[in-house]
Amino acid sequence: MIKLNAGLAHLKNKPFKDIEWVEETLESMTLHEKVGQLFCPIGSSDNKQDLEAFIAEYHPGGIMYRPDTGAKMQETHRLLQELSPVPLLISANLEAGGNGIATDGTYFGKQMQVAATDNEDMANKLGLVAGREGRAAGCNWAFAPIVDIDMNYRNPITNVRTYGSDPIRVAQMSKAFMNGIHESGLAAAVKHFPGDGVDDRDQHLLSSVNSLSTEEWDQTFGMVYQEMIDSGAKSIMAGHIMLPEYSKKLMPGIKDEQIKPATLAPELLNGLLRENLGFNGLIVTDASPMLGFTTSERREIAVPKAIASGCDMFLFNRNIKEDYEFMLKGIKTGFLTLERVDEAVTRVLALKASLGLHVQKEMGTLVPGEAELSVFQCEEHKEWARECADQSVTLVKDTQKLLPINVDQHKRVRLYVLGDQEGGLKEGGSVTNPFIDSLENAGFQVELYNDKQVNFPELFMSVNDFKAKYDLIIYVANLETASNQTTVRINWQQPLNANAPWFVKDIPTLFISVANPYHLQDLPMVKTYINAYSSNEFVVEAIVDKILGKSEFKGKSPVDPFCGKWDTRF
C-alpha cells in the first residue's frame, strides 16, 4: 500500500468548474468505466467497428493519435467523440505548431527557436498556432509546453525542444505559450515533472536523474513549475525522472535503491507537486512503454502503482488489455484503493468540465466542422512563423569575417548536408533542395557532396587542386533530437572522415545548424557558425537572407553554444 495518499481533488479551486456534472458522471459510472477513464491509449485504428468495440470494452478517458492529414485526424476524432458516452480528452504533442497533430499543419518552430527571439509574444503566437490548428483537428489537450531546462548540452532529448538553459526565460516563454493554448480552448499539459535536462541521458531509455539539491531545484525547476501553476496550468505530465535529493528529504530513511522516477514516487507527486507547490489539476504519466518506466518496477505492480502514487491518468500501453487487467487486479488486492480511483477519475472529469467538453458534446461541437481546416498553414500563421525565423537565426561567431558572402568572391560553393532526410523522416523534412535552390537563385554555383558514396580520388586530391574547384564550403547540419537515441553528435563519413572540414585553413568555411545548437563541441576549428534551431521553410529563407547580407542577425542564443569549451570561441 502506498502510504502517501494524494489530497482530495478540490473541485471549487482552480482549474476546475461545473462540479455538478463531474459528481453526477462519477456517481453513474461502474468500476470498469472508472478504470477506463484512467487510460489515455495510443490510437491505432480509424475503423468505426474497431473503435466501437474498443470504447465499449475499455471506456478510455482520452486517446492520442500520431499525425496524419488534418482532414483525416478531424474525421477520426469526430467518430471517436460520437461513439464515446463521456467526451474524450484528445491529445497531441503540439510543441512546435499544428504539425504536432496534422502533417499539413504549420511547423512554426522549435521552442528553442522561439526562445532565441527573446520575445515572449512569439511564444504566445506559437501557442496560438498550435492551439488553433490542434483545435481544428479536434484536439483539446496539448502535451506542451516543455518546461525542462537545458542545463546539460549533452542531453540528447531536451535540446531544441526546450526554451533554453535560463530558468527565468523558460518560465516566461512557457507561460506565454500556455496562454496561447488556453486561449485556443485547449488544456496545456506542462512537462516533464520534476524536470529533464540535468542528466545527459534519455528517459526513453532509462530512468534519468535530476541530480540538483533541493535548494537548487527550488530556485530553478521549482520556480518554473510554481509560475506555471500560479498561471493556471490545468495538467502536468510526470516524467520517468528521479529527483533523489527531494525523495530523501520527503521520505527520511529511504534507501537509494528504493528511489523511483516521479511517475512512481508519491513523495514527489503528493508531497512536492500537490502539497508544496499547490497543484490541484490533473497529473498524467509520460508514455508508459518508455524504458524509464518499464525498467523501474514489474509492470503488474507499476500500472496500479502509478495511480496509487498520485498520477491521475496513465499514458499509452504495451498491451491495453493486460494493463487494464493489471489496474483491476491492483484494486482487487487493495494496492490501489477505490478512494484513490475516485479521486483520479474526478480530476479527469474535472479537466474535461473545465474545457466545457460535456457542453460541447450536447451541442455537437466537440470537433469543429470541415471549414475550420482552413486554419492550417493560413497566411497569418505562416507570416508569424516567418517573423519568428527572422528574429531567431543566431550568428554564434564569425571570427574570420566571412559574412556576408557574395557571388563575386564565393561563386563556386561545395555544400555538405549532414543528417538530412528526403521525404521528411524527421519533423522538418529535408532542407537540402531549399538551400540549393535559394543559393542558385542568388547566382551561386552549388555542388552537393554525395554522402551516399565515398569519392576516393577526392580523398587524395591535392590541396591546391581542391582550392581551385571551390570558393566557399557550406555545411548544413539537420541532426535533430529524437526519442530513443543516446547522443546528438556529428559522425563523419568513413573512411578517413571523408566529409570532415579538413580544409578550413585553406577555403572559407561556413557551418549552419538547423537543429542541435551544440555542434561546436565537434567543430572548434570552424570560424563562422550559425544556429537556427528548426528546419522549416521559413528558417531556410531567413538564413539565406542573412548570410547574403539582406537581413541582419537578430537571434540571441538561449544556451551556451560554445559548450563551456575555450577552444570553440575563436
For residues 523 and 541, is the Cβ–Cβ distance under 8 A?
no
For residues 567 and 524, is the Cβ–Cβ distance under 8 A?
yes
The b/e string for 152-171 (b: 16+ C-beta within 10 A; e otherwise) is bbebbbbbbbbbbbbbebbb
Residue 1: pLDDT band (50, 70, 90) is very low
Is residue 8 over pLDDT 60?
Answer: no
Same domain flag for 279 and 134: yes
What pLDDT is recorded for position 540? 97
What is the domain-level CATH number for residue 64?
A: 3.20.20.300
Sheet of 282-285: strand order equals 62-64, 89-92, 141-142, 187-193, 235-238, 282-285
Indicate which residues carry an active-site annotation. Answer: 286
Q: What is the mean pLDDT of residues 107-119?
A: 98
Same domain flag for 171 and 287: yes
Is residue 384 a part of any domain in this protein? no
Same domain flag for 42 and 81: yes
Q: For residues 294 and 318, give the distance between their C-alpha atoms in angstroms, rounded to a whole number.
A: 10
Q: What is the mean pLDDT of residues 246-275?
A: 98
Is residue 196 a part of any domain in this protein? yes
Q: What is the mean pLDDT of residues 377-406?
A: 98
What pLDDT is recorded for position 4? 41
3-state helix, strand, coil in the chain (%, to 5): 45, 10, 45
Question: What is the extent of the structural domain holding 35?
Answer: 19-365
Is residue 427 over pLDDT 90?
Answer: no
Q: What is the mean pLDDT of residues 408-416?
A: 98
Q: What is the mean pLDDT of residues 201-229?
A: 97
Is residue 376 a part of any domain in this protein? no
Residue 19: pLDDT band (50, 70, 90) is confident
Is residue 5 over pLDDT 90?
Answer: no
Q: What is the 3-state secondary structure (H, E, C) of 136-163?
A: HCCCCEECCCECCCCCCCCCCCCHHHCC
Same domain flag for 403 and 302: no
Is residue 385 a part of any domain in this protein? no
What is the domain-level CATH number for residue 463?
A: 3.40.50.1700
All three cell numbers of 189: 499539459
Same domain flag for 460 and 519: yes
What are the residues whose beta carbons fall under 8 Å from the beta carbon of 322, sequence distance 6 or more? 299
Q: For residues 27 and 374, give the distance between their C-alpha atoms in angstroms, rounded to a whole number.
A: 40
Is residue 173 over pLDDT 70?
Answer: yes
Total count of domains within the chain: 2
Residue 18: pLDDT band (50, 70, 90) is confident
Same domain flag for 446 and 344: no
If one counts every other C-beta atom within 10 angstroms of the C-beta of residue 42, the result is 15
Same domain flag for 483 and 549: yes
Is residue 424 over pLDDT 90?
Answer: no
The whole-angstrom distance between residue 495's C-alpha and the CA centroid of its chain comes to 35
Same domain flag for 361 and 440: no
Same domain flag for 220 and 328: yes
Domain end call among 365, 384, 408: 365
All three cell numbers of 7: 489530497
Same domain flag for 410 and 344: no
Q: For residues 443 and 436, give the distance between their C-alpha atoms in angstroms, rounded to a whole number.
A: 11
Is residue 372 a part of any domain in this protein? no
Same domain flag for 352 and 412: no
What are the residues whose beta carbons fall under 8 Å from the beta carbon of 359, sequence distance 6 or more? none
Reported as a single tens digit per residue, the pLDDT across 32-56 is: 999 999 999 999 999 999 999 999 9
Task: Name the percent of the chain lying above pLDDT 70.
Answer: 96
All three cell numbers of 195: 524536470
Same domain flag for 47 and 161: yes
Is residue 553 a part of any domain in this protein? yes
What pLDDT is recorded for position 9? 66
What pLDDT is recorded for position 362? 96
211: exposed, middle or buried (Cβ count in 10 Å: 0-12, 13-18, 19+):
middle
User: Mean pLDDT lowest for which of 128-137, 213-222, 489-498?
Assistant: 489-498
Mean pLDDT of the chain: 95
What pLDDT is recorded for position 421? 64
Q: For residues 395 and 514, give the distance between their C-alpha atoms in angstroms, rounded to a whole number.
A: 12
Closest CA relative to residue 118, chosen from 384, 393, 385: 393
Is residue 373 a part of any domain in this protein? no
Residue 420: pLDDT band (50, 70, 90) is confident
Is residue 377 a part of any domain in this protein? no
Is residue 7 over pLDDT 50?
Answer: no
What pLDDT is recorded for position 149? 98
Is residue 347 over pLDDT 70?
Answer: yes
Reported as a single tens digit per residue, the pLDDT across 502-548 is: 999 999 999 999 999 999 999 999 999 999 999 999 999 999 999 99
